[in-house]
Structure 1
Amino acid sequence: MADDAAAARRIETGPLSPLNTLNPYIQGAYEPVSRETTAIDLPVIGEIPQDLHGAFYRNGPNPAQAPQGMHHWFDGDGMVHAVWFENGKAEYRNRYVRSADHVADLNGGCGAGGVMEPSTRADPSSTRGDKVYKDTANTDLVLHNGSLMALWYISGHPVRIDARTLETIGTETFGGALSRHVSAHSKVDPKTGEFVFFDYSLYEPWMTFGVVSPTNELTHFARVELPGPRLPHDMGLTENYVILHDLPVVFTDGGLKRSTWNIHFADQPARFGVVPRNGSGDQVRWFETDSCYIYHVVNAWEDGDEVVMTACMMTPNGFPPNPEYGPYAAMVNVLALHAVPVEWRMNMKTGEVKKRQLDDRIGEFPVVNLDYASRPTKWSYHVAMAPRELQSFKGLIKYDLETGAARTWDYQPSQFGSEPAFAPRVGATAEDDGYVIAFVTDAETGKSEVQVIDAQNMEAGPVARVILPVRVPAGFHGTWRAATS
């Protein structure tokens, strides 16, 4: 009877299997929505500033069909949610990212599953090329060469999306020159317009990085040898350097042998590889530091002889695996992000590394004013993490990266947010002269809104709350596009 009752439960995109009734990352705040929506001239509580002109985008997982097998939160089909601001008004759209694997899955199956299912080694001769898992393009968004690119963090090919309509343009190969994948959290240099990316091999001891011109030409590509397979999540980019991550979260020996996603924390230091943006693999200079893992970099820049990188450093979350989640207990435990902001300074002359923790508050999903990306930055904006097992964003933190001082805005107790974006006001005269924008959803009512907060007056809360006609599930990363870009 219990199994029958469980099988009868539904989410918006279909009935849940008994197995997935134990999976919290397909229900509640994480439940996918079933429809693509366009809504014009949305109701507003407060007033949208007249000097806010452009679009806020956020990507995230949204399974088009209720999963039947083991399902990781990272597996869901990509869906982009966006709000366009102009003349004190706002409009909303959401659209699926129609990656090649998403389309194939809707038409009978793409031939690959998610990260909690057994994988097959990449086969470059197959129709999927050298991808291992289903490519959902659900993780990140960057603006390059006039349109968006949706990126995935493992076996991804970039997917071009129209920045106004959100309709998928197609898979991006940079004129056929892309020989491998592009990982999420690759960067766009705001000064040069270059797209600088990295990627890694799941099972072989190397990673790659490359540069794409503002006109979409692949101008540089290099391979970096490593002591073994690695699973980095982000990179740093300065005016002249790429910062690659060799971190101690790796596949277990059994995971490597069986090609399964079994990871562990290895007893080895963390290393940051600093290499000229157009350099070769043998030009990487490695800086060894305390063992740690990093999901997300805040920003990076150069300061005299030093290369500076600020990031959210993971610390133990203190939660034991919870048996109530059954086979999903380990996934839930890993996703309970517990990170603090840390600065590393790597001296290119002496080889010395200096590490400085800026604060002990738990936060993640950091963003900066993208006009200052890869250059010295004073301010960053993070989500505050609720102290609970399930990943939940309870508010926002604005950091002074020089002093570690912080200002905060907390959502209502029943609300959860998403990664914000910083939107410079039209005619901005300072780095923090603008707005912090985020999707916020009430877990009790299912109603969603977009909050617009004056970045120089965080504690005052939103100057405008744009009421949305649909629910926006918890998701991943986003970006801002000024109307003139």
Structure 2
Amino acid sequence: MSARMTHRVRSSLQPCEHPYLSGAWTPVFEEWLDDDCPVTGEIPRDLDGVYLRNTENPVQQPLGRYHPFDGDGMLCGLRLHNGCAAFRNRFVRTRGFVNEQDVGRALWSGIAEMPPLSDRPGWGAHGALKDASSTDVCVFGGRAYTSFYQCGELYGCDPVSLEPSGAVGWGGAFPRAGISAHALPDPQTEELLWFSYSREAPFMHCGATSLGGEVTHQREVPLPGPRLPHAMMFTPRWYVLNDFPLFWDAELLQRKLFAARLHDLPSRFALVPRASAPHGGRADDIRWFEASPTYVLHYVQAREEGDEVILDGYRQRCPSPPPLAGAPREHARMMAFLDLHSLQPQLWRWRFNLRTGQTREGALDDAVCEFGCVHVAHPQQAARYVYSMLGEPGWFLFNGLDKLDLRSGTRETLAFGPGVFGSEVRFVPRRAARSEDDGWLITLVTDVNRNLSEGRIYAAQNLRAGPLARIRLPLRIPSGTHACWADAAALQVPAPNARF
């Protein structure tokens, strides 16, 4: 085999029974490279690109209580070409990660520790957390970029070798508050769209950055106070942002206690003009729409249709669940806020009428699912199929995937098997696709029974047939969250004069 360990990071973490430091979430400290992964089955030769997945992998012994979102960012890359597969994993070299490697211990406490025990000032909206850049990953302008859910820097790397290029600067125009996870490339305009939030008025910003690293549009989105948005969407004319009633308790926040509470308020969605708005913008050209109270982590698609902007996402039926029954008492509340079956997200549609200012909303399906994707050939096209992850009851783990046909209401589901947990699936169309679902679904799975991990490729039109290919990885990786796919044509390195 060609697999070899290239580096082992310095760790002070001690083995323990914490539910998110053991089992499928057991951390690893090695970086591996395998140029010729063993394959069972056959990798479709049409697949030419890279599947990238980010996750939280803690390296240092926690300062106080540990939450899985505290872990250091670790990228896994599966390069597919000509029926072969290569794998690499590498930690994201954030400033915080490097500082802790230098001293050999944790310098920042996590989100569950109140008040924070951090030895140094932190990043982002919280202000005392390490920017682990562990939440999301996207490919833009030939580079992969990782980001953090509570805002921070945007870290670049080569999407194949994962060789780091450091935090972006955007010619000195990178937002002072950082940016949130879920920045979105717009292939039509060749821009990276992003948003940020903070504890300082106006509390939210959004903007766009060109392929050359120039911030071409940036503006304020005033909110009544600090909020906790997680994701955004866009259409050709609008950024789609939100103001949900689940946010930090204002009185506790004054005592540096970052406790999220569900407030008696409606949900609000902001439609913010894109390039047509003047630089900086005005508060009165943002269109606000009210909707039923909830919280949404992720969306799957947005489009314009006549006088309406239509948004599909996973609306939580119970955004503030009670402690998880049967869980260890010290972890029960945390585990409930990580469990899909406690939060009960369902696929939902909001329709914002630009003429009347009214919102129509309703369920597209009743199944508990999240972390979805669609395939559309054009941004204004409505996707027929939504591919979502299914949750292991009581855990932040994905035990299968779901394909929902929005036209017929029918579905096809796939279970990975007992003790096997996957990562966010990505759809890749066949080159000469004859239908919207003519292509493949790719994920990485961790099998706790056999202590190994695999890449898996499924035919999107026939999930029940099982994987077309199982790609053995050189190490067992911890369970992961967000992922992206980039075709080979998108892997080109930007010009030397780019300002990133």
Give the counterpart of 2:52 among 45, 57, 63: 57
Q: Matches of 2:235 and 2:117 in 1, distance apart?
A: 34
Match of 2:299 in 1: 297
Match of 2:164 in 1: 168
Deviates more, 1:303-312 or 1:61-70: 61-70
Match of 1:419 in 2: 424
Q: Matches of 1:403 and 1:227 in 2, distance apart?
A: 41
Q: Matches of 1:137 and 1:368 in 2, distance apart?
A: 25
Counterpart secondary structure, 1:459: helix
Kindly indicate whether residue 313 of structure 2 is the aligned counterpart of residue 331 of structure 1.
no
The one-character-per-residue Cα deviations of 1:91-132 (angstroms, maximum 9, x if unpaired) are: 11000010111111211278543212346799xx97969854
Q: Matches of 2:27 and 2:376 in 1, distance apart?
A: 29
Kindly indicate whether residue 141 of structure 2 is the aligned counterpart of residue 135 of structure 1.
no
Counterpart secondary structure, 1:61: coil
Cα 1:142/1:302, change in 2 over 3 Å: same
Match of 2:461 in 1: 456
Give the counterpart of 2:227 among 230, 236, 248: 230
Maintained 8 Å contact 1:190/1:372: no
Match of 2:257 in 1: 260
Kindly indicate whether residue 346 of structure 2 is the aligned counterpart of residue 351 of structure 1.
no
Counterpart secondary structure, 1:179: coil
Counterpart secondary structure, 1:69: coil
Counterpart secondary structure, 1:107: helix
Q: Matches of 2:446 and 2:385 in 1, distance apart?
A: 26
Deviates more, 1:152-161 or 1:273-282: 273-282
Q: Partner amino acid for 1:407?
A: E
TM-score, normalised relative to structure 1: 0.90
Q: Partner amino acid for 2:420?
A: Q
Q: Matches of 2:306 and 2:66 in 1, distance apart?
A: 47
Counterpart secondary structure, 1:103: helix
Match of 1:3 in 2: none
Maintained 8 Å contact 1:189/1:374: no
Give the counterpart of 1:178 among 174, 180, 188: 174
Q: Matches of 1:233 and 1:287 in 2, distance apart?
A: 18
Match of 2:274 in 1: 277
Counterpart secondary structure, 2:254: helix
Q: Following TM superposition, by how much is the alpha carbon of 1:402 offset from its aligned partner in structure 2, in angstroms?
A: 4.0
Q: Following TM superposition, by how much is the alpha carbon of 1:424 offset from its aligned partner in structure 2, in angstroms?
A: 2.2
Cα 1:443/1:233, change in 2 over 3 Å: same
Counterpart secondary structure, 1:340: strand
Q: Matches of 1:126 and 1:196 in 2, distance apart?
A: 28
Counterpart secondary structure, 1:390: coil
Counterpart secondary structure, 1:397: strand
Q: Partner amino acid for 1:328?
A: H
Maintained 8 Å contact 2:324/2:335: yes
Q: Matches of 1:107 and 1:13 in 2, distance apart?
A: 11
Match of 1:7 in 2: none
Give the counterpart of 2:39 among 16, 40, 44: 44
Cα 1:159/1:47, change in 2 over 3 Å: same
Q: Matches of 1:89 and 1:478 in 2, distance apart?
A: 20
Match of 2:66 in 1: 71
Q: Matches of 2:122 and 2:129 in 1, distance apart?
A: 13
Match of 2:405 in 1: 400
Cα 1:323/1:205, change in 2 over 3 Å: farther
RMSD over equivalenced CA pairs, Å: 2.5
Match of 2:91 in 1: 96
Q: Matches of 1:405 and 1:150 in 2, distance apart?
A: 35
Deviates more, 1:290-299 or 1:108-117: 108-117
Q: Partner amino acid for 2:349?
A: E
Counterpart secondary structure, 2:335: helix
Counterpart secondary structure, 2:477: coil
Q: Matches of 2:19 and 2:282 in 1, distance apart?
A: 42
Q: Following TM superposition, by how much is the alpha carbon of 1:15 offset from its aligned partner in structure 2, in angstroms?
A: 4.9
Q: Following TM superposition, by how much is the alpha carbon of 1:429 offset from its aligned partner in structure 2, in angstroms?
A: 4.6
Match of 1:241 in 2: 238
- The alignment of Structure 1 onto Structure 2 pairs a total of residues equal to 468
Give the counterpart of 1:30 among 25, 28, 39: 25
Cα 1:445/1:401, change in 2 over 3 Å: same
Q: Partner amino acid for 2:204?
A: M
Q: Matches of 2:430 and 2:438 in 1, distance apart?
A: 6
Q: Following TM superposition, by how much is the alpha carbon of 1:428 offset from its aligned partner in structure 2, in angstroms?
A: 3.5
Gap runs ≥5 in structure 2:
1-9, 491-500
Cα 1:175/1:375, change in 2 over 3 Å: farther
Maintained 8 Å contact 1:379/1:400: yes
Counterpart secondary structure, 1:466: strand
Q: Partner amino acid for 1:155?
A: C
Q: Matches of 1:193 and 1:209 in 2, distance apart?
A: 16
Q: Matches of 2:60 and 2:123 in 1, distance apart?
A: 21
Q: Partner amino acid for 1:390?
A: W
Q: Following TM superposition, by how much is the alpha carbon of 1:259 offset from its aligned partner in structure 2, in angstroms?
A: 2.0
Q: Partner amino acid for 1:96?
A: F
Matches within 5 A, 1:137-156: 137-156=133-152
Counterpart secondary structure, 1:438: strand
Q: Partner amino acid for 2:355?
A: K
Maintained 8 Å contact 1:192/1:214: no
Kindly indicate whether residue 372 of structure 2 is the aligned counterpart of residue 366 of structure 1.
yes
Cα 1:236/1:392, change in 2 over 3 Å: same
Cα 1:126/1:76, change in 2 over 3 Å: closer
Kindly indicate whether residue 211 of structure 2 is the aligned counterpart of residue 197 of structure 1.
no
Q: Matches of 2:213 and 2:437 in 1, distance apart?
A: 30
Cα 1:469/1:340, change in 2 over 3 Å: same
Q: Matches of 1:129 and 1:47 in 2, distance apart?
A: 44
Match of 2:484 in 1: 479
The one-character-per-residue Cα deviations of 1:289-342 (angstroms, maximum 9, x if unpaired) are: 100100001111111111011001112287644475243222111111221101
Maintained 8 Å contact 1:255/1:263: no
TM-score, normalised relative to structure 2: 0.88
Q: Matches of 1:393 and 1:350 in 2, distance apart?
A: 40
State the percentage of identical aligned residues.
37
Match of 2:4 in 1: none
Maintained 8 Å contact 2:398/2:422: yes
Q: Matches of 2:186 and 2:132 in 1, distance apart?
A: 25
Q: Following TM superposition, by how much is the alpha carbon of 1:445 offset from its aligned partner in structure 2, in angstroms?
A: 1.7
Maintained 8 Å contact 1:238/1:301: yes
Maintained 8 Å contact 1:110/1:134: no
Cα 1:141/1:312, change in 2 over 3 Å: same
Q: Matches of 2:115 and 2:188 in 1, distance apart?
A: 40
Match of 1:210 in 2: 207
Q: Partner amino acid for 1:361?
A: A
Match of 2:102 in 1: 107
Cα 1:149/1:374, change in 2 over 3 Å: farther
Maintained 8 Å contact 1:190/1:373: no
Q: Matches of 2:66 and 2:452 in 1, distance apart?
A: 25
Q: Following TM superposition, by how much is the alpha carbon of 1:345 offset from its aligned partner in structure 2, in angstroms?
A: 0.9
